[in-house]
Structure formats: structure tokens, C-alpha cells
Amino acid sequence: MGRLRRMIGGWVRVTLCGYAPERFLNLCRARQMTIWDLECKGDHYVFSMGLSDYRNTRPLARKARVRLRSSSRCGLPFFVRRNRARWVFAAGFCTFFALLWAMSLFVWGIEISGNLQYTDDTMLRNLDTWNVRPGTRKRAIDCESLESSIRAAFPRITWVSVRLEGTRLVIQIKENDVGSEDLEKPRDPANLIAAKSGVITSMIVRAGTPLVRIGDAVEAGQMLVSANISIKNDGGEEIGTHQVFADADVWARTQSSYTKTFPLLHREKSYSGRKRYGIRIRTGEHIFPFLLPTLQKTSWEYLVTERQIHLGADFYLPIFCDWVVGHEVSVYERNYTQDELSCLAETERARFCENLEQKGVQILEIDDRIEVSAKTCTLSGQAVTIERIEQSVPNMESEE
């Protein structure tokens, strides 16, 4: 600490010679001046003392009849004086740290973890409506109220933690694994109608009056289970009706189809293997690419890996340094071959089946066709499926 104080205040190396050097040293000590690294060099002495003390030694030197000569000067005052012409450098140096401090007052990165059902984009859009986005002042973010807002906006989130780490906003959430649709089912009287046409193969009625049976062919919109339950007396006469929320599982054999038409002529890319590398600096809306130039006028395809600059683990800055890799590509047009059309048809069929299976539909058989004309190709397919077709609609009689 003493050394730091000396560097900041500045010190000089002094050569002392004369009549009574010891008297001079005693006079300095009496005026509370500190001397260090005092050496005897035969006929003279060399020592170090602080700059402010050195400036007050003239009367003492006169009194002790000695001569002082400074041989070297060290410390901040001398450094500033030597570099006074380079004030722009110093200003830039200070401005850099001032900017760094200013940027530390804002949030520049938002990290969300633990979300499975809600995508990052969905959550970021919601945060944006609450004025929480990169560039928001840290002081303007209330973590507790943000946690409450997230829990209210996303019902499936059971636990949420929001905290500020450096210039990052870290949001951790935990979602509810149990489906909540059954708990939220409205209990107003409702009928069940057919969402699609088909032949009923299985029917389990839990509430309501069934109007169709297994084996019946139904049309889309036809009522399957009524919300009205007739109340009969002992004689079998209807004395009234009671309305319920019709609940049933109705499975039917249905038909699903798909069609996709596209032109035979398509663009094909061919990569030559040549690459070029570069970096791209991005801040806000401003982008500064730095790529090696090419002499030939060819097409290039660029792959950019984004990387946000950060100091340490949590001090993120609003500057992105992206790594760019370019691949030379030549584009030409040609028609699909028969093998390629078959592959496309297979891919489309697989995609169609996967969609149906994700919805819980059982596929019994599927036929697909490829129709090729002069300029276009049509892929079509038809599947016989077994799926649930019931759809709940409000009972119009109860509304009246």
C-alpha cells in the first residue's frame, strides 16, 4: 500500500553531498519527511524521497550547507507530464471503462431453461409485452412481479425463478407434467357430434343419451350423444329431462387423404468445395461483415455461427461476433427423376402417417399415387383410419 501511495504521489532519487549531510537528514526527519533506500557512496549519499517532500528541502539544504541533485523521477505525476500530448489515448482509455460500466446497468441476455411445452420464442414474446427485453435497465426489472406474471400467463408452469446475474436475466421454470384439460373441462350441458364422417366401430358412453350404435354410418355434424337424459316414472312415462355434459369415446372408421402438387422443374445446388471465412460484428441493427474478397463472380452460401461477447460468465455485452463460413455454390434447374419422385412420395407418405399417429389415429391401410404431367407432379394418398370423431358442442336448448 505504501508503494502504491508513493507511485501515485511520485518520488525522486536524490544525490546528496556537502558539509553536514547527517544534519540535513535529521532536519528532514524533524519535518516528518520520509527517506528510504539511503546509501553511502563514499563522498556522497543517494536516497529516495517523495516529490512533495523534495519540493520543501531547499531551506533545509541551505541550512545544512549541502547540495541536492535529483537523478531520476518516478511515479504518476511524471508519467502524466511525459505523456501530456497523448491525452486522446487517455480519454479513450477512460471512455472504454466508462462505456463498460454504463453497459453493465442493462440486461443484454435472457436465458430460459426448463421449458418443454412452451418454446423460448413464446416466452420471449410474452416478456417483450412486459417490457423485458435485451437493452432493458436492470433497475426496471422486478424479479418477483415478473415471476408472478409468468405463472399467471402460463398455467402449466408450476415453479419459476427469475434472477439477475451480471447482465443476464436467468429464468428457470418447471412445468406441470399432468394434463390439465380434464380439470378445466366446462360443465355446461353439451352434446357430442361427429367431427368427421365414418362408420362407428367402438362406443363408450359415460354421460348422455347415445343416438347411434356400433356399425352406423354417420355424417360430419351428426349428433352422436345427446345431453338430454329423459327421466321416467315407474310406468315408463317420461316425466322430465335432465341435461348433462355428454361424455363418450366414439371410434369410427374414417378416410383421410393428402395431396401435394409441385413443379417438376426445380433448383438444384452444387457445391464446388471452395470455402471462404470471415467474421461479422453485429450490434443492434448495425452489421459489419469482414470477409476475404473473391475475384470471381460466383454464388456463395453463408453459414453464420452467432456468438455474443461476454467478459467472464455473466457480463454479456450487446455485441455479437459471428463466425462466417461461405461455400461456393452453383445453382441450376432440372426436372426430378423417377427415383427422386418416388423418394419424395415416400417422404410425404411417412410425414402424413407420422402426423396421424401423433394424433392417436390408427392407420389400417394407405394408398398413394404419383401423377406426372408435362410440368407438374401430384402426390396423393388416401388412408383408411380408425380415430375418435366426437366433438363437444353446447346444448342449444339449455341456452334458450
Half-sphere exposure (Cβ direction) of 263: Cα atoms closer than 13 Å: 6
Out of 21, 134, 198, 381, point to the residue binding other proteins (CB under 8 A).
21
Only one of the segments 17-25, 113-121, 156-164, 295-303 lies at the binding site for other proteins (rule: CB under 8 A); that segment is 17-25
Q: Is residue 306 close enough to count as binding other proteins by CB under 8 A?
A: no
Q: What grid cell was written down for 242?
A: 335432465
CB of 322 to other proteins, least distance (A): 57
Amino acid present at 297: K
Q: Is residue 38 close enough to count as binding other proteins by CB under 8 A?
A: yes
Of 181, 182, 223, 210, residue with least CA distance to 395? 223
In the numeric block, the cell 402460463 is attached to 154
Out of 36, 87, 93, 262, point to the residue binding other proteins (CB under 8 A).
36
Out of 9, 15, 18, 35, point to the residue binding other proteins (CB under 8 A).
35
Q: Is residue 305 close enough to count as binding other proteins by CB under 8 A?
A: no
CB of 96 to other proteins, least distance (A): 39
CB of 22 to other proteins, least distance (A): 5
Q: Which letter does DSSP use for residue 378 in this model?
A: E
Type and span of the H or E element at 103:
helix 87-103
146-165 residues near other proteins, rule: CB under 8 A:
none
Out of 34, 261, 347, 376, point to the residue binding other proteins (CB under 8 A).
34
**Do 171 and 124 form a contact (C-beta atoms < 8 A)?**
no
Q: Is residue 52 close enough to count as binding other proteins by CB under 8 A?
A: no
Q: What grid cell was written down for 173?
A: 421454470
Out of 26, 202, 272, 283, point to the residue binding other proteins (CB under 8 A).
26
Q: Cβ neighbours of residue 336 under 8 Å, at least 6 residues apart?
A: 264, 266, 344, 377
For 314, the 3-state DSSP assignment is coil
Order of strands across the sheet that contains 66-74: 45-50, 11-18, 66-74
Strands 238-243 and 362-372: unpaired
CB of 25 to other proteins, least distance (A): 6
**Do 27 and 66 form a contact (C-beta atoms < 8 A)?**
no
In the numeric block, the cell 357430442 is attached to 192
**Do 62 and 39 form a contact (C-beta atoms < 8 A)?**
no
For 202, the 3-state DSSP assignment is strand
Out of 1, 3, 32, 358, point to the residue binding other proteins (CB under 8 A).
32
Only one of the segments 26-34, 80-88, 267-275, 291-299 lies at the binding site for other proteins (rule: CB under 8 A); that segment is 26-34
Half-sphere exposure (Cβ direction) of 394: Cα atoms closer than 13 Å: 8
Q: Is residue 5 close enough to count as binding other proteins by CB under 8 A?
A: no
CB of 15 to other proteins, least distance (A): 15
CB of 23 to other proteins, least distance (A): 9
Only one of the segments 4-12, 27-35, 276-284, 381-389 lies at the binding site for other proteins (rule: CB under 8 A); that segment is 27-35
Q: Is residue 43 close enough to count as binding other proteins by CB under 8 A?
A: no
Q: Is residue 20 close enough to count as binding other proteins by CB under 8 A?
A: no
Q: Is residue 371 close enough to count as binding other proteins by CB under 8 A?
A: no
What does each C-alpha distance from 139 to 48, 124, 265, 315, 330 come to in angstroms? 50, 19, 57, 16, 52
Q: Is residue 14 close enough to count as binding other proteins by CB under 8 A?
A: no
Nearer to other proteins, 39 or 184 (CB): 39
Q: Is residue 50 close enough to count as binding other proteins by CB under 8 A?
A: no
Residues interacting with other proteins, by CB under 8 A? 21-22, 25-26, 28-30, 32-40, 42, 45, 47
